[in-house]
Amino acid sequence: MIHIRVPATSANLGAGFDALGLALTLYNEIEMEEDDRVRILTDTPNIPCGETNLVYQSAKRLYDLCGKRLTGLFIRQKDAIPMTRGLGSSSACIIAGLTGANLLLGEAFTLDDLVDLSAQIEGHPDNTAPALLGGIVTSVFDGKKVHWVRQFIYSHLHFVAIIPDFPMSTQAAREALPQTIAYRDAVHNLSRAALFSASLLSGKFENLRTAVDDRLHQPYRLPQIPYGEDVIACAYRHGAYASYLSGAGPTLMAIVSEDTSGAFEHGMRGELDVRGLNAWRIIRLAVDNTGAVWESRG
């Protein structure tokens, strides 16, 4: 039986649309072995249990590329990453399928192949690459290949995920974006995306608020999230270095000092509760520098 663990991810990181993402300490655990049919076991509601299951489809893609027939797979999914919330749940399924199948196929594909294939399946690399590699990943996807750099983060920061009780599909959130943007907005974003990585990695956290100020996607998506702008304003009042829309949303992420993150979470819980948002969850996470891990047991 193959055991796989894949981290959640937060993509875009403000202004780094489709380019920046990092892995977080929240995990999906998957077991997988070859079978004579497709059998999926999961406690998570709304997960397809047949051939449309994303872990299965991603695994099958690798078998097809190898020219090897797949009769079926037994897959057991334990999904801690909430679905359709902007925390990389679909990327985690893709990475689980690819890494599990690669082990079953005798590691026929390299790590670079898996980075490329996962981005081809997802359509963009900013969740798939950090889910596989860990740390913060800067990537350019040319439609076929991902050109990437992974950097480890050892700063004492927490990423506090404020998770609404409703989903947001990435496809719908991408359709909300304009076809063209102004030249000045492109310049605004590229300088900030560059500032984000450099500031995070060098410890200049006071820059992060400026660095996450996005003009490519947040202005179109945030107004669709009830209380979205309000929650970000609260996060700053409670001392966050930065707060931004995680991936396509609806999760709002706050970057907070490890020393004050307990008080921050407590304060934000109060802010949500007075607004009647009792069903919104808050999870305090750190950066995962390991990425996906997979092994054969028994």
Q: How many helices (H) and strands (E) does the chain have?
A: 10, 11
Distance CA 71, CA 34 (A): 8
Rg (CA), the chain: 19
- Residue 60 touching ligand HSE (CB under 6 A): no
- Residue 12 touching ligand HSE (CB under 6 A): yes
Distance CA 164, CA 252 (A): 8
What is the footprint of ligand HSE within residues 122-151 (CB under 6 A)? 124, 126-127
Applying CB under 6 A, which of residues 174, 188, 209, 281 lies at the interface with ligand HSE?
174
- Residue 214 touching ligand HSE (CB under 6 A): no
The count of residues interacting with ligand HSE (CB under 6 A) is 14
- Residue 11 touching ligand HSE (CB under 6 A): yes
Tokens of 15: 């202004």
To the nearest 10 degrees (0 to 180), the angle between helices 261-274 and 228-237 is 140
- Residue 269 touching ligand HSE (CB under 6 A): no
Applying CB under 6 A, which of residues 14, 130, 134, 247 lies at the interface with ligand HSE?
247
- Residue 248 touching ligand HSE (CB under 6 A): yes
- Residue 85 touching ligand HSE (CB under 6 A): no
The CA-CA-CA angle for residues 40, 174, 287, to 5°, reads 65
Task: Give me the half-sphere count of Cα atoms (radius 13 Å) on the Cβ side of residue 252.
Answer: 29
Binding site for ligand HSE (CB under 6 A): 11-12, 17-18, 86, 124, 126-127, 170, 173-174, 217, 247-248
